[in-house]
Amino acid sequence: MKKILNFIISIIFPRTCSLCGTTLNFSSKQNICNKCLEKIPKLEGLICHKCSLPLPDGGATCSDCKSNKDIYFEVLKSPYTYSTQMKKLIKNLKYSRKTFLAKDLSLPLAEFIKKENIDKEVDVVVPVPMHWFKKWKRGYNQAEILATGVAQIINKPMYNALVRTKYTKPQFNLKKQERHENLESMFDINKKYVDIIKGKKILLIDDIATTCSTANQCAKVLKSLRCKIVVVTLARAAF
């Protein structure tokens, strides 16, 4: 009965691929067609061993990771580059209430985490938090939906163990120094989870890494509880 109903609904409101617009099979649970999903450019080739920044000229680490001793995470990894497709998906995810995309994207994200054996290294999953007012306005935190999906697949608990204490301007329009200042003491531990996450190995999830400063500030706060932090973001932008 449910199948028939779904079929009728799919005729009246056909679901389409969020990237190419083709009509999807009514039984498909995805919102991106397989063809498009396979074509999303992956982060490959020469990248920094620490933060995954593409290094077209080669080398093991980027100049930032080489000179900066204040990096608090073990490693930052991403399955995808910040390509045109990824831009479109993340924009839809953030501003068009297309939260179903986060569920779709948590699948390849979890596959990547398994392929890299990160799931075997970590105890808990924690999303990069959003300020409560922003979350209230948007209705959700896309990093949290991604983290929930990943946690389910890799079979680990997910906790909103961090809080964002400052309501800040979007990072994207800021210069590097401003970003740093913008982020200083912006995160805190959610007191509820102190005992649960103390000393744990944490998989920190976000949608995109641009300069890594957001992830690093989160890691800094978690490090105060002697945690070890591995960061995985859906996309890695080269700034």
Residue 69: phi, psi to the nearest 5? -90, -10
In the complex with Zn ion, the residue whose CB is nearer, 142 or 216, is 216
Are 211 and 132 in contact, with CB atoms under 8 Å apart? no
Query: To the nearest whole angstrom, how small is the minimum distance from the Cβ of residue 28 to Zn ion?
Result: 11
Residue 70: phi, psi to the nearest 5? -95, 50
Query: To the nearest whole angstrom, how small is the minimum distance from the Cβ of residue 46 to Zn ion?
Result: 12
In the complex with Zn ion, the residue whose CB is nearer, 38 or 185, is 38
Interacting residues with Zn ion (CB under 5 A): 17, 19-20, 33, 36, 48, 50-51, 53, 62, 65
Query: To the nearest whole angstrom, how small is the minimum distance from the Cβ of residue 236 to Zn ion?
Result: 10
Q: Which helix (H) or strand (E) holds 92?
A: helix 84-95
Query: To the nearest whole angstrom, how small is the minimum distance from the Cβ of residue 23 to Zn ion?
Result: 10
Residue 231: phi, psi to the nearest 5? -105, 135
- Say which residue the tokens 């912006």 belong to: 186
In the complex with Zn ion, the residue whose CB is nearer, 8 or 20, is 20
Dist CA 236 CA 215 (whole Å)? 12
In the complex with Zn ion, the residue whose CB is nearer, 50 or 77, is 50
